[in-house]
Amino acid sequence: MKEMEKRFLDACKLNIPMELHLLRAHLYAEELLTKILIDNIPRPKKLDLERMGFRRKLQITSAFELIPEDLSNGLNQLNKLRNKLAHTFRREVYLDDVEKLMNSMGGEVKNHIEELVNSNLKQSTKDIPEEYFGNLFIATVAFIAGQLSSIAEVE
């Protein structure tokens, strides 16, 4: 079992709101984007990465093809969702948000995530739409984190 899949299964056992999973995934992704830039740019201190935002880090890693396009699309969608959550009072994560996030990375990734969720969860969980939807979201952000971790060579 891949490390990302193990993290997904562990995260499904945590009883925390999806919004917290989103914020944690966003922070982790930003740390990894920073590491990727530091490891791949000859003079990263010239960029003042500590003050640079997520979006700009993503643009630079994408422009220099340091991350695949489908992952860049997923990270961009993750950032949009995080911004909606952070700047809208009483905003929650909805099924539409999860579908946009999964679809942004392409059909193959979406199928892999759905297969992971379906093969690792009890039937009773699949019958509860909120739990199934929550697990789809957790699996999606775990997939993004796993992909970035591989690129950044972090375990």
Positions of the chain with pLDDT lower than 70, given as ranges: 1-9, 11-13, 120-129, 155
In the prediction, which pLDDT does 20 show?
A: 84
Residue 113 near residue 74 (C-beta atoms within 8 A): no
In the prediction, which pLDDT does 92 show?
A: 81
**Closest to 37 measured CA to CA, from 59, 65, 57, 63:** 57
Q: What pLDDT digit, counting tens, does each position of 30-72 carry? A: 999 999 999 999 999 999 999 999 999 999 999 999 999 999 9
DSSP state of 127: T
In the prediction, which pLDDT does 46 show?
A: 93
Give dist(CA 155, CA 152) in Å, integer.
Answer: 9
DSSP state of 46: G
Residues 6 or more apart whose CB falls under 8 angstroms from that of 109 comprise: 70, 74, 102, 143
In the prediction, which pLDDT does 131 show?
A: 74
Positive or negative, the CA dihedral 141, 102, 15, 21 is positive
